[in-house]
Amino acid sequence: MGGRIAQPHGLAAPSLDDLPGGLRRAHAAFVAFLRVECGLARASVEAYSWDLLLLLSDLARTGRDDLRGLSGRDASTHLARLKTERHMAGSSVIRHLASIRVFFRWAVANGLCGKDPAEYLERPTRWKKLPDFMNVGQIKALLEAAATPTAATPLAGAIAMRDVAMLELMYASGLRASEVCGVSTSDLVESTGFIRVIGKGSKQRLVPMGAPARRALDEYLVEGRPVLLKPDGRDKGKLLLAQTGRPLSRVVVWQIVKRAAARAGLKDIHPHTLRHSFATHLLSGGADLRVVQELLGHADIATTQIYTHVDAGRLRSIHRQHHPRA
């Protein structure tokens, strides 16, 4: 497949002949793999070929002549260009991402690339909408609603303490629902006020908890968790327990958040809203973007950058305060 390839979306196609030798050979080898070893239909091979040509042309623009040393940032920059320069629709970017994921897995398996640059990329569907977040007053209302027991019983009191501890932890440390479910009692580093978190890709990070979260956790550990704990070890050492004494599931986390939100009169609140609020409030307070990236456990800073768009008012204020011609 030499020369130019027909562009499915009607844009001017980049040329295979313009690729450096290493990238051109990678393209040819992958297309041959799809055609010969995978036995894909001609239309499918051409679609993959076009997606790969777009990717490799972008890499060539940055001076690369092979796939060594590629990072998640290279892949996310390429996806961003599809939207900003080629005005590709979100659905098309999703399909394109699926194609380059296949290519990168093949490249790693064949020794052309050290690690998969697309392994931790977020699905582009998440770019369609800026993240929802709560203000400080709404966070307070959510916590107050969760703190009120539904009945005057030890079990109801324990559940309320657990719910507050969970919500405080998710907001104070920016945890995903799956992460808060996975926290063990041994993950609390009480001497330093940090918590050990296992995130996506089994990557471990240490995140500070904050004084209110630590107080809520202390109360839960002393008074609430013993009520929920069963003697048969079904808790598996996890921090947050369901009524049954088993570790919380993501479904139960969702139910806890929705129940507290309903009692507080808040709409469209879900577990990830707490994580969005954590990031937004940190950036609003002047935190460095890379620090927030580390705290959130994002593999690529491009994923974190979406939070910089939700606080335009603060940016305008800083500009007015510091720019001589503002």
The string of pLDDT tens digits covering residues 202-236 is 889 999 998 999 999 999 999 999 999 999 999 99
Cα separation, 164 vs 146, in Å, equals 6
Task: Give the model confidence (pLDDT) of 283-316 as tens digits.
Answer: 888 888 888 888 998 887 777 877 766 555 555 5
Rounded CA-CA distance 15/45 in Å is 17
Q: Give the list of residues 6+ apart from residue 104 with CB closer than 8 angstroms, or none.
A: 75, 113, 116, 117, 118, 119
**Can you give the residue ranges of every domain in the chain?**
16-127, 136-317
Nearest Cα residue to 135 out of 254, 320, 274: 274
| CA dist 51 → 31, 81, 152, 190, 194 (Å) | 11, 13, 61, 50, 44
Catalytic one among 200, 205, 215, 314? 200
Residue 272 annotated in active site: yes
Catalytic residue among 4, 205, 272, 314: 272
Tokens found for residue 289: 């973007």
The domain at 136-317 falls in which architecture?
Answer: Orthogonal Bundle (1.10)
For the question of whether the overall pTM of this predicted structure is more than 0.75, the answer is no
CATH 1.10.150.130 fits 16-127, yes or no: yes
User: Is 48 a catalytic site residue?
Assistant: no
Active site residue 200: yes
275 included as an active-site residue: yes
Nearest partner of 8 among 36, 37, 48, 41, judged by Cα: 48
- What was the pLDDT predicted at 4? 38
pLDDT band at residue 317 using 50, 70 and 90 as cut-offs = low
State the burial class of residue 265 (Cβ atoms within 10 Å of its Cβ: 0-12, 13-18, 19+): exposed
